[in-house]
Chains A and B, each alone.
Chain A
Amino acid sequence: MSAGTVLAPHLSHPTRERPPTARKPRRAGIGLRAQHHLQLLEKRPPVEWLEVHSENYFGRDSAHRRVLEKIRAHYSLSLHGVGLSLGSTDPLRLEHLGELAELVRELEPTFVSEHLSWSCIDGRFTNDLLPLPYTEEALQHMVARVGQVQEFLKRQILIENVSSYLRYTCSQVPEWEFLAALVHYSGCGILLDVNNLYVSAMNHGFDACTYLAGIPASAVQEFHLAGHVINRIGQHSIRIDSHGTHVSEAVWILYRAAVRQLGARPALIEWDTDIPALDVLIAEAEKADRVTEALHAVAA
């Protein structure tokens, strides 16, 4: 593999030298986007772990995949899926799952995650994360789908809460109860997106701390932190998950509450639109570390 030898001549056997996966990261990581591939390989900044969107690296020998393999030689990776559409009643796309399984085999990621949402109906994809109604039927559906994926991948997956802008009249339980039941019946873990939780709590007027208290702490394995925007529509304002700005002060406050309630977990900075310089992302991750450390200092 020519490109690899140019950039990292001593790494002819990356699988032997890659960082171990068993140990969970202790510090915050960043979401890796293609803009930063080369800079990361050249400068190797001291970020403990990286998370990528699984779909961006589908295709066994694609150019992106080859770069990712080189990055994997130096950093722990996690895979975050945005396209499996677990909540959809369309059949699960087995070729999509197959691609994911191959990626999991090759990269040995620390975490593999997907969303508590649906994206397609009758073959048409919104490529958006649409909320589910929290009903008995939807729970059974999600438990079956998560089970199918975990069995296929032969490992646990984490399910992430999404930002929500609407609620269904047919929902029977609040989201935290639905998520707790999903964990109970499927054995999945939780990726708690603190920004999404804040956005949904503000949009629907529930107490985010009730949510934190309502999910099993032992199932939460990862936090996401990202930015959002406030849109004004007529008399009303609604918070929209943009992943395009700094983490807001209110979300940092909720993050402190989450760490106090659930314990410290690997946190990840996500930034998907108007992606800034790598240094900005790293500084945001360092800020998350300072927040976590300050809480530990207080506790000690």
Chain B
Amino acid sequence: MLSLRELQRHFGAALFDSAPQAIMPWICADGLDVESRIRIHRNNLHEGFLRALALEFPVIQRLVGEDYFHQLALVFQANHPSRSGNLHHIGRQFPQFLVGLLGGTRYRYLSDVAALEWAYLVSMGAPEATPLDPSVLLKFSPETLSELRFTLHPACRLVRSAYPVLRIWQVNQSEAAETEIIDLDSGPDQILVRRGAEEVELHRIARGDFALLTALASEATLGDAFDAACGADPHFKVGEALCRAVALGALTEPRISPRAVS
């Protein structure tokens, strides 16, 4: 007698690896043939994945069309099958998958659009946190200030692209009526994705602000982040940039790095 585990492994091989031989003797062949019965579940596997991926990346589907999106989903699924009972996780590697597929071609911008769509979803599902109260900053001396380490608000994501992805995203929303020709050379874009009171918002931010927040997100001190921002924009003004970041609720309460304490 086949164990339950072996039966499930055989069935899995039929679904994921197109190898139905091992499971076939264990399925009743009355009426409809066994291969057709297995095919129903293989279709479910593909259709369910496709539907979930299309819900996560509606702009990509709109840009490439349903047929090509279907092909993309099949190849992506073969390489990155769902690893969770929660379908909301399936698209995590889709932007990177598109980089591998389209890098070096003129369709490279699609992976950046996918990264923006994924950032949107992550922001939607992120935990809540109290944004930084700007008066907290007044407690620190200028020297200590530069040693502070901030954490990006969990619902904030940073997306950068050489292409005008924010405009591409906007004109490809389902409610967007008019079509618009977008010049792919009208980038680059630096975007902060955040969750407002009612919905997720996308904000185009300055190059220096983006460099500052990126550095802070990777746990740099404010001083080091400032250097990074000045590298990106020689006219960078840290006070104004911090005010803008705080106004967008992008930062949470800072920690003083060990160096500043000693």
Q: Tell me if A200 is interfacial: C-beta within 8 Å of chain B.
A: no
Asked if residues A6 and B28 are in contact (CB atoms below 8 Å), the reply is no
Contacts of B7 in A (CB 8 A): 133, 168, 170
Task: Give the distance to chain B from A137, nearest Cβ to Cβ, in Å.
Answer: 5
Task: Give the distance to chain B from A58, nearest Cβ to Cβ, in Å.
Answer: 6
Asked if residues B125 and A63 are in contact (CB atoms below 8 Å), the reply is yes
Nearest chain B residue, comparing its CB with the CB of A63: B124
Partner of B126, one of A62, A122, A132: A62
A130 vs B42: C-alpha distance when bound (angstroms): 11
| Also in contact, A127 and B87, with CB within 8 A (given A6-B198, A61-B128) | yes
Contacts of A125 in B (CB 8 A): 81-85
Asked if residues A168 and B51 are in contact (CB atoms below 8 Å), the reply is no
Asked if residues B9 and A238 are in contact (CB atoms below 8 Å), the reply is no
**8 smallest beta-carbon distances between A and B, as pairs:** A83-B85, A61-B128, A121-B12, A2-B197, A125-B82, A62-B125, A166-B37, A89-B5
A85 vs B84: C-alpha distance when bound (angstroms): 10
Partner of A63, one of B28, B52, B199: B199
A138 vs B5: C-alpha distance when bound (angstroms): 10
Asked if residues B48 and A128 are in contact (CB atoms below 8 Å), the reply is yes
Task: Give the distance to chain A from B35, nearest Cβ to Cβ, in Å.
Answer: 10
Q: Tell me if A82 is interfacial: C-beta within 8 Å of chain B.
A: yes
Q: How many residues on A have C-beta within 8 angstroms of the other chain's C-beta atoms?
A: 52
Chain B's interface: helix, strand, loop or mixed, by majority?
A: helix
Task: Give the distance to chain A from B4, nearest Cβ to Cβ, in Å.
Answer: 5
User: Residues of A at under 8 Å CB distance from B?
Assistant: 2-3, 6, 55-56, 58-64, 82-85, 88-89, 93, 96, 118-128, 130, 132-133, 135, 137-138, 141, 165-170, 205, 231, 233-234, 236, 238, 240, 273
Q: Tell me if B27 is interfacial: C-beta within 8 Å of chain A.
A: yes
Known pairs A126-B82, A205-B31, A238-B40; list 5 more (Cβ under 8 Å): A6-B197, A83-B87, A89-B4, A125-B84, A234-B36
Contact mask for chain B residues 115-139; partner A; CB cutoff 8 A; 1 contact, 0 none: 0000000001111100000000000
| Also in contact, A96 and B124, with CB within 8 A (given A3-B198, A127-B49, A128-B48) | no
Asked if residues A60 and B127 are in contact (CB atoms below 8 Å), the reply is yes
Q: Tell me if B86 is interfacial: C-beta within 8 Å of chain A.
A: yes
Nearest chain B residue, comparing its CB with the CB of A120: B85
Asked if residues A169 and B26 are in contact (CB atoms below 8 Å), the reply is yes
Task: Give the distance to chain B from A103, nearest Cβ to Cβ, in Å.
Answer: 12
Task: Give the distance to chain B from A1, nearest Cβ to Cβ, in Å.
Answer: 9
Asked if residues B124 and A64 are in contact (CB atoms below 8 Å), the reply is yes
Task: Give the distance to chain B from A132, nearest Cβ to Cβ, in Å.
Answer: 8
Q: Tell me if B38 is interfacial: C-beta within 8 Å of chain A.
A: yes
Asked if residues A93 and B198 are in contact (CB atoms below 8 Å), the reply is no
Q: Tell me if B238 is interfacial: C-beta within 8 Å of chain A.
A: no
Q: Tell me if B163 is interfacial: C-beta within 8 Å of chain A.
A: no
Q: Tell me if B32 is interfacial: C-beta within 8 Å of chain A.
A: yes
Asked if residues A127 and B82 are in contact (CB atoms below 8 Å), the reply is yes
A123 vs B27: C-alpha distance when bound (angstroms): 23
Contacts of B4 in A (CB 8 A): 89, 132-133, 135, 137-138, 141
